[in-house]
Amino acid sequence: MSIDVEQFHGVFFDESEEHLQAMEDLLMIIDVDAPDIEELNSIFRAAHSIKGGSGIFGFDRLTGLTHIMETLLDKARNQTIELDTAIVDLFLETVDILKATLTAYREQQPLPEAEIAAGIAQLEATLSALDDAPKGDSVQNQDAIEEDDGFGFFDDLPEPDSTSETVEASADTDDLFGDLAFGADAQNAERAAPQATTEEEDGFGFFDDIVTPDVNNSPQSDEAFGFFEELPEPPKTPVASVTPIQTAAKKPAATNNSSAARESGSIRVDTAKIDGMVNLVGELVITQSMLSMIGRDIDGQSGEMLQAAIDELQRNTREIQESVMSMRMLPVNMTFNRFPRVVRDLSQKLGKQVKLVIEGGATEIDKSLIEKLVDPLTHLVRNSIDHGIESPQTRAEAGKPESGTVILSAQQKGSSIIISISDDGAGLNRERIMDKAVQNGLPVSLDMPDSEVWQLIFQPGFSTAAEVTDVSGRGVGMDVVRRNIESIGGRIEIESNLGKGSSFSIHLPLTLAIVDGMCVTVGEQIFVMPLLNIIESFQPKPEQIQTIGNDNVLWIRDEYWPLVPLHQMMQVDDAIAEPTESIIVLLESGKNRFGVQVDALMGQQQVVIKSLEKHYKKVAGVAGATIMGDGKVALIIDVDSMAQSCQLTIKHEVCA
């Protein structure tokens, strides 16, 4: 057999990771008192797929561990044993070991042998303890022993059980590499099936003709994967607690649904390919706007035809752009789904009762952002549980329910995504933060608004935790959290009520590559302002402009707004200096609002963000550059840094 199997390793690793994640997710929601058989089946199937795949590729450490886990799972779903929290915990630990092992195989690092051995030992111990119980079932025990040696798919002479394993793998429609195994097994299966069926756990139905006689005798055949049809439930199952009718009725629908959904077509594509495409589409957008500029100058009939064609092109470009961008989009759940586990482990460790509520997990966000969100979110969630949620007693004394709630939510608002982590815990303590700030020598004043006090916790080395735990309190973190979020173009805001809880919201752009912008002119130059930050624009009346010191401020809606003349900030000559003759664009960044004075508005346009730092360096007040329709470079205004700098100027003047 000379097929190069290494090319399938990547697929196996990816799929196994998904299976492990699915197992973990299901284990988290399982109700130990009344487990849903379908959920247990799914967990079992996931473990089984990993076992089958790892057997094919010779990752025998994975095979060994999943095998024994599967045996235990099988008993659980057959209800030969009763689930309890200890067993679920054990499964979760096993999933962790499997993840570590998988990563080790993938990165060709030394395997975590000690953990694997310990995991196997623990599973075996649990298994034998349960087997001693009256419900024990000797057939399975034997099955475990027989199958224990790897599943040498590549052995010259396959063992009977190896065939049965690979047959299962090939019958499993979820596994891409099943195709690989299939050809060889079809021949082997015929030879080996009669023996193999003694261990045939899953009456697959695919090999019906051969298997059927034995299946009915097999005590574990209720799995019924049903490639094409559902096998009848064996009536002679020795376990009294099985409820065949109910499960049989539920299974076909569930199995068909999930396999139909997956077959409906997804392919794995290297992200580099998609990134390359995003770049090309960016170039296409630029070329298209160049064309439409040229098109405007052409008159007559051919001009009209050109214009129509360009309009068509514009529509198509936008659609291509949207669909390419959507390829990079993934549901936030990819990040969120790890948190039930984090919350569970942490709350157990800290002796707190915490309920996690996830909202809006289906909201989609750029893949590159998903990966970078994991660390900051984990940190914030841990913080909420460690610092935010109080112990059950304290909560009871404060008249709150003993169990705290952490809400993790995502929602799309315009072209930004807001992810928030809220808890109903103690909230931030203004006094403690102020004390700590004074200790750390930070400039504070007693009449600082809350919003500014909360921002202090993002200072390096800032932690008000009374004692350092291994969970948090070392003061490294919040500054890193903010830096991580800012590095992906986002910002973080805090709201907090003492005694009622706090909420951290992360505002992120939908994508990092393209921004909806308003093009404005200042003198000869064009600047782009992100549409997201614009509140409105207008020509000011003389009475709306007031002078404080040497600076103008705006008086709108009974409030003073800082006014930044863009031509001064960007040092542009021949711009309109008089505010009443120019246009004011009101911008908002976080809680900061200010007006920017420009000469004129040119119009709204999608622009591709190009880095200035690639060949030059970061320019203050500029987020990046873009290429306009005529090939000229326009700078994109960095509203956040502009807001901060005008906050500083204002404060400076107030203090002075």
Partner 1 sequence: MSDSTLQQSPVASNEKEFLSFVLGKEHYALDITTVKEIRGYEAATKIANAPAFIKGVLNLRGDIVPIVDLRLKFNVGEATYNEFTIVIMLHVHERIVGVVVDGVSDVVRLTDEQILPPPEFGVAFDSQYLHGLSEVDDTMVILVNIEKLITSDALALVDSNPNMSLAG
Minimum distance, C-beta of residue 546 to partner 1, in the bound complex (Å): 18
Site for partner 1 contains 613 (CB under 8 A): yes
Minimum distance, C-beta of residue 632 to partner 1, in the bound complex (Å): 6
Would you give the DSSP letter of residue 594? E
Closest CA to 289 of 639, 636, 638, 628: 628
| β pairing state of 501-509 and 491-497 | antiparallel
Q: How far is CA 181 from the centre of its chain?
A: 32
Closer CB to partner 1, residue 7 or residue 611?
611
Give the interface segment with partner 1, choosing from 348-356, 359-367, 538-546, 633-641 (CB under 8 A).
633-641
Closer CB to partner 1, residue 11 or residue 526?
526
Q: Which of 265, 614, 654, 655 binds partner 1 (CB under 8 A)?
A: 614
Q: Which of 73, 354, 635, 643 binds partner 1 (CB under 8 A)?
A: 635
Minimum distance, C-beta of residue 395 to partner 1, in the bound complex (Å): 45
In sequence order, the β-bridge partners of residue 596 are: 564, 585
Closest CA to 131 of 176, 81, 93: 81
Q: How far is CA 33 from the centre of its chain?
A: 30
Closer CB to partner 1, residue 1 or residue 648?
648
d(CA 22, CA 41): 12
Closer CB to partner 1, residue 184 or residue 602?
602
Minimum distance, C-beta of residue 379 to partner 1, in the bound complex (Å): 25
Closer CB to partner 1, residue 180 or residue 515?
515
Q: Cβ atoms within 10 A of the Cβ of 353, count?
A: 16
φ, ψ of residue 577 to 5 degrees: the values are -90, -35
Closer CB to partner 1, residue 340 or residue 621?
621
Minimum distance, C-beta of residue 616 to partner 1, in the bound complex (Å): 4
Give the interface segment with partner 1, choosing from 6-14, 60-68, 461-469, 609-617 (CB under 8 A).
609-617
Closer CB to partner 1, residue 248 or residue 622?
622
Find out whether 493 and 590 touch, Cβ atoms under 8 Å. Answer: yes
Strands laid side by side in the 600-608 sheet: 600-608, 514-522, 525-530, 633-637, 622-627
Q: Which of 128, 257, 271, 611 binds partner 1 (CB under 8 A)?
A: 611
Closer CB to partner 1, residue 453 or residue 522?
522
Site for partner 1 contains 646 (CB under 8 A): yes
Minimum distance, C-beta of residue 285 to partner 1, in the bound complex (Å): 11
Q: Which of residues 231-290 bind partner 1 (CB under 8 A)?
A: 282-283, 286
Minimum distance, C-beta of residue 468 to partner 1, in the bound complex (Å): 31
d(CA 536, CA 247): 60
Find out whether 126 and 74 touch, Cβ atoms under 8 Å. Answer: no
Beta strands in 523-619 (DSSP E): 525-530, 534-538, 545-548, 551-556, 559-565, 583-589, 592-598, 600-608
> Per-residue contact track with partner 1, 479 to 518, x per CB under 8 A?
----------------------------------------
Place of tokens 């058989």: 37
| Residue 496 Cα distances to 356, 391, 423, angstroms | 19, 19, 10
From first CA to last CA, the distance across the chain in angstroms is: 83
Q: Which of 266, 302, 445, 571 binds partner 1 (CB under 8 A)?
A: 571
Site for partner 1 contains 293 (CB under 8 A): no
Tokens of 549: 């010191």
Q: Which of 441, 615, 655, 656 binds partner 1 (CB under 8 A)?
A: 615
> Per-residue contact track with partner 1, 398 to 437, x per CB under 8 A?
----------------------------------------
φ, ψ of residue 626 to 5 degrees: the values are -145, 165
Closer CB to partner 1, residue 34 or residue 620?
620
Find out whether 206 and 185 touch, Cβ atoms under 8 Å. Answer: no
Closer CB to partner 1, residue 320 or residue 619?
619
Closer CB to partner 1, residue 141 or residue 645?
645
Q: Which of residues 546-565 bind partner 1 (CB under 8 A)?
A: 564
φ, ψ of residue 155 to 5 degrees: the values are -65, 150
Site for partner 1 contains 621 (CB under 8 A): yes
**Residue 360 identity:** G
d(CA 610, CA 635): 9
Site for partner 1 contains 545 (CB under 8 A): no
Site for partner 1 contains 291 (CB under 8 A): no
Site for partner 1 contains 529 (CB under 8 A): no
Minimum distance, C-beta of residue 645 to partner 1, in the bound complex (Å): 4
Closer CB to partner 1, residue 236 or residue 614?
614
- How long is the chain? 656
Q: According to the 3-state scheme, what is the secondary structure of 260-324?
A: HHHHCCCCCCCHHHHHHHHHHHHHHHHHHHHHHHHHHCCCHHHHHHHHHHHHHHHHHHHHHHHHH
| β pairing state of 551-556 and 600-608 | unpaired
Minimum distance, C-beta of residue 59 to partner 1, in the bound complex (Å): 39
With 0-12 / 13-18 / 19 or more C-beta atoms within 10 angstroms meaning exposed / middle / buried, residue 623 is: buried
Minimum distance, C-beta of residue 201 to partner 1, in the bound complex (Å): 57
Minimum distance, C-beta of residue 620 to partner 1, in the bound complex (Å): 5
Site for partner 1 contains 610 (CB under 8 A): yes
Give the three-class secondary structure for 257.
helix
Find out whether 627 and 597 touch, Cβ atoms under 8 Å. Answer: no
Site for partner 1 contains 572 (CB under 8 A): yes
Minimum distance, C-beta of residue 618 to partner 1, in the bound complex (Å): 6
DSSP string, 436-459: HHHHTT----TT--HHHHHHGGGS
Site for partner 1 contains 334 (CB under 8 A): no
Q: Which of 487, 568, 580, 604 binds partner 1 (CB under 8 A)?
A: 568
Site for partner 1 contains 617 (CB under 8 A): yes
Minimum distance, C-beta of residue 640 to partner 1, in the bound complex (Å): 12
d(CA 34, CA 146): 32
Site for partner 1 contains 451 (CB under 8 A): no
| Residue 291 Cα distances to 512, 526, 602, 635, 641, angstroms | 25, 19, 18, 21, 34
Closer CB to partner 1, residue 531 or residue 622?
622
Closer CB to partner 1, residue 368 or residue 647?
647
Q: Which of 272, 547, 616, 656 binds partner 1 (CB under 8 A)?
A: 616
Cβ contacts of 651 within 8 Å, gap of 6 or more:
none
Q: Site for partner 1 (CB under 8 A): how many residues? A: 34
Find out whether 200 and 215 touch, Cβ atoms under 8 Å. Answer: yes
Site for partner 1 contains 519 (CB under 8 A): no
Residues that bind partner 1 (CB under 8 A): 282-283, 286, 525, 564, 568-572, 610-622, 625, 627, 631-635, 641, 645-646, 649
